Amino acid sequence: MMDVQRKKKDNVKSRMYVADICDREELHLSRGPNSKIVKPKLKFVLTVAKRRELCEWVKGLNMPDGYCSNLRNIIDPNEAKFNNMRSHDCYLFMEMLLPITFGALPDDVLKPLIELS
């Protein structure tokens, strides 16, 4: 997960239920400075440095002609995110390229994914 604002379902309302359902303290909401509600980052969310590394890796990929559109054109290096990805390109990324990037995940997240697959 690349933690892109306005593009996710992980909001304060959904996290309020976590305290009732789950006993993992690292996922619960807390009060920060100025009495503001703070959502802790999840383990599987990539940091900005890791997102930039992923974008640079995708920029360096060479695909056969006609396989997918030029992925270099959809990457925004300043914000380290993908823009205007077509459905076929998204499918190829999810099916072929995303499993390779799992190496950036922590071991306690990666091992269950490997066991499930």
CA torsion sign for 108, 112, 115, 117 is: negative
Looking at the structure, tell me whether residues 53 and 40 fall in a common domain: no
Residue 24 falls within a domain, yes or no? yes
- Which helix (DSSP H) or strand (DSSP E) does residue 50 occupy? helix 48-59
Does residue 82 lie in a domain region? Answer: yes
Tokens of 17: 């239920």
Percent of the chain with pLDDT strictly greater than 90: 0
Residues 98, 116: Cα–Cα separation, whole Å: 16
Assess if residue 108 is contained within a domain. no
Residue 91 belongs to some domain of the structure: yes
The tally of domains found in the chain comes to 2
> What are the tens digits of pLDDT across the range 5-45?
655 666 677 777 777 777 777 777 777 788 887 777 777 77
Residues 33 and 63 in one domain: no
Residue 105 neighbours by CB under 8 Å, 6+ apart: 43, 44, 113
61-81 tens-digit pLDDT: 887 777 777 788 888 878 888
Domain presence at residue 2: yes
